Amino acid sequence: MAEARNGTQDPSPGLVRLPPGRHGLPREVVAQNQRDRLIAGIIATVAEVGYNDATISNICAAAGISRRTFYTYFRSKEECFFAAYDAIAEHVLATVREASAREGSWPQKVRAAIAGALEVFAANPDLARFTLIEPPRAGEKISARLRAAGDVAVAELTRGKPKRARTISSDVERALLAGMAAVVSQRVEAGRGGDLLSLQPELVELFLTPYIGRDKAVAIARD
Amino acid sequence: MAEHPFPDPALDRLSAAGCFLDIFFAVWADFEAQVLEGFESGECWRQRVRLGAFAAAGWLRDHPSEARFVFLETLRAGGRLQAERERRLEKLVDLIDRGRPLMTDPRPHGREIAVAVVGGAIGLLVQELQKGESTARVESFVPEFMYMAVLPYLGEEAAREELSICIDNPRD
């Protein structure tokens, strides 16, 4: 996997298939490579055909791994999906935290966090499709994972919020996040995922305005 | 094998997918008509959005099964239905986006704010439906939805006023 600055990895780059036959690599290296390729495989397959139409055969074909080997690592497509989802979430969270840690004030941290997430998704729009677009379509258990990730994202964005910032209800906070996800999803669905970073000012303004007022939010968003 | 007695278009109508689509069109048309009737009865953009939102919430409250069908079950359906759903949601985005000329500052806001407002409300609705919550609860969210919708276009003061709008008398 391609390692990012924060030490986590984009879970779906073009993973290198190990040479066939005797290569002398330790068993754990081979296992990690195969598991990573299956994760990359499910991300690519879900992006192409959607979760509901993705089959284990498709995933294995994308990963270049046999069905038998698939079951060495995962009991089901759903289990593989969750492993990929967790890997992406970890990557996004680490990127967001690293970006916001460089900033001083809370609104600046929010701006950096949103930019960090947009950078990850712009670099690989399949990750946005996998984490934002597909889960609501994939049934209750997977949707529940999206809701839980949303709660983590709200907690992350509001961490360090000053006491003087306005209080808004948890429903509005969840709706703000769902609204931001809708904007990102729409752009990805339109095939413009590589252009996600241009959404940063609107999304920063949208998220910050209820907390600090529009004028301050605009100033931070456009700075 | 005997030749099928139906011509292709009719066959399509009789297929499960065609039937699903027809039901979606009919149910959405009913929802949209109620929202538009509420929206058009208002005198200014802000009041129109509010009346449209209460009309939507009323429809959701009165049609829980249909709400589940058009907002949740269609998410799992195939490409054509997804596209039709998105196209219809864009009409709701248009209603919110009509507030753009009312903004006092000259910043070049795009349509994204309206997409986020509608997307946020629908996203929340879908989450509630997935959790098995009653659609009757949606009505209590309207003031907060209005806060979200009005804030980017008319500012904090107007948005705060929406939080204290009486649900029983939304025209005031």
- Asked if A83 and A24 sit in the same domain, the reply is no
Q: Is the minimum CB–CB distance between B157 and chain A shorter than 8 Å?
A: no
User: Average pLDDT of B151-168?
Assistant: 88
Is a pLDDT exceeding 80 seen at residue B35?
yes
| Cβ-defined contact of A136 to B130 (cutoff 8 Å) | yes
Domain that holds residue A124: 79-222
What is the per-residue pLDDT for B13? Answer: 52
pLDDT at A48 over 90: yes
Identify the domain boundary among A29, A59, A74: A74
Higher-confidence residue of A82 and B20: namely: A82
Residue B25: closest CA among B78, B88, B91, B67: B88
Averaged pLDDT for residues A71-77: 97
Give whole-number Cα distances, A87 to A35, A138, A154, B33, in Å: 12, 18, 19, 44
| Mutation choice for A interface testing from B111, B115, B157 by most A CBs within 10 A | B115
Q: What's the pLDDT score for residue A130?
A: 95
Of A8-22, A162-176, B49-63, the least confident? A8-22
Same domain, A41 and A113: no
Q: Within 13 A of A95's CA, how many CA atoms are on the CB side? A: 21
B12 has pLDDT over 90: no
Strand, coil or helix: A140: helix
Residue A36 has pLDDT above 50, yes or no: yes
CATH number, domain containing residue A44: 1.10.10.60
Q: Among residues 93-132 of chain A, which lie with CB inside 8 Å of chain B?
A: none
- Asked if pLDDT for residue A106 goes beyond 90, the answer is yes
> In this structure, are A54 and A128 located in the same domain?
no
The domain tally of chain A equals 2
Q: Do A172 and B144 touch (CB under 8 A)?
A: yes
Report the predicted TM-score, pTM, of the whole model to 2 decimal places.
Answer: 0.87
Chain A stretch 39-58, residues whose beta carbon is closer than 8 A to a beta carbon of chain B: 52
Helix (H) or strand (E) holding A144: helix A140-158
Last residue of a domain, one of A74, A107, A126: A74
Residues of A in contact with B156 (CB under 8 A): 213-214
A6 CB-near residues (< 8 Å, 6+ apart) = A94, A95, A97, A98
Q: What is the pLDDT of residues B106-123, one digit of tens each?
A: 566 678 999 999 999 999
Banded pLDDT at A20 (limits 50, 70, 90): low
Confidence of residue A2 (pLDDT cuts 50, 70, 90): very low
Answer yes or no: are the C-beta atoms of A149 and A96 closer than 8 Å.
Answer: no
User: What proportion of chain A, given as a percentage, has pLDDT over 90?
Assistant: 72
**pLDDT at residue number A66:** 95
Chain A interface includes B42 (CB < 8 A): no
Closest CA to A151 of A113, A115, A178, A184: A178
A171: contact with B, CB 8 A cutoff: yes
Q: Which position has the higher pLDDT, A35 or B132?
A: A35
Nearest to B113 among A138, A186, A206 (CB): A206
- Are B144 and B161 a contacting pair, CB within 8 Å? no
Question: Same structural domain for residues A53 and A135?
Answer: no
**Sequence letter at residue B36:** L
Of B109, B120, B151, the CB nearest to A178: B120
CB-based contact A199 B112, cutoff 8 Å? yes
Residue ranges per structural domain of chain B: 19-163
Name the nearest CA neighbour of A116 among A196, A27, A217. A196
pLDDT at A29: 82
Q: Give residue-wise pLDDT tens across range A134-152.
A: 998 888 899 998 899 999 9
Does the pLDDT of residue A168 top 70, yes or no?
Answer: yes
Q: Is the pLDDT of residue B2 over 50?
A: no
User: What percent of chain B shows pLDDT beyond 90?
Assistant: 55
Q: Tell me, yes or no, whether A62 and A92 share the same domain.
A: no
What is the DSSP-derived secondary structure letter of residue A133? I
Q: Where are the alpha helices (DSSP H) in chain B?
A: 8-14, 16-40, 45-62, 64-71, 79-97, 112-130, 138-154, 156-163
Task: Give B80's strand partners.
Answer: none
Residue in A52, A185, A214 closest to B155 by CB: A214
**Which one-letter amino acid corresponds to residue B137?**
R
Contact B130 A222 (CB under 8 A): no
Query: Is residue B73 packed enough to be buried (19+ CB in 10 Å), middle (13-18) or exposed (0-12)?
Result: middle
Residue A16: which pLDDT band, with cuts at 50, 70 and 90?
Answer: low
Give the 3-state secondary structure of residue B131: coil
Task: With beta carbons less than 8 A apart as the criterion, state whether A134 and A50 touch.
Answer: yes
pLDDT tens column, A153-163: 999 999 988 88
Could you tell me if A99 and A62 lie in one domain? no
Mean per-residue pLDDT for B89-111?
Answer: 84
**CB-based contact A176 B122, cutoff 8 Å:** no
More confident of the two residues A5 and A139: A139
What residue in B sits closest to A204 (Cα-Cα)?
B113
**What average pLDDT score do residues B27-52 get?**
96
pLDDT in tens, A176-188: 999 999 999 999 9
Q: Is the dihedral of CA B164, B144, B138, A171 positive or negative?
A: negative
How distant is the Cα of B127 from the closest Cα of chain A, in angstroms?
Answer: 7
B-chain CB neighbours of A171 within 8 Å are: 124, 141, 144
Both A87 and A154 in one domain: the answer is yes
Using pLDDT thresholds of 50, 70 and 90, give the confidence band for residue B7. very low
pLDDT at A111 > cutoff 90 = yes
Domain boundary among A55, A74, A93: A74
Could you tell me the two tokens for B160? Answer: 């705060």
| Dihedral, CA of residue A28, residue A30, residue A33 and residue A34, to nearest 10 | -110
User: Could you say which DSSP state residue A53 is in?
Assistant: T
CATH number at residue A149: 1.10.357
Express each pLDDT in B71-83 by its tens digit: 998 888 777 888 8
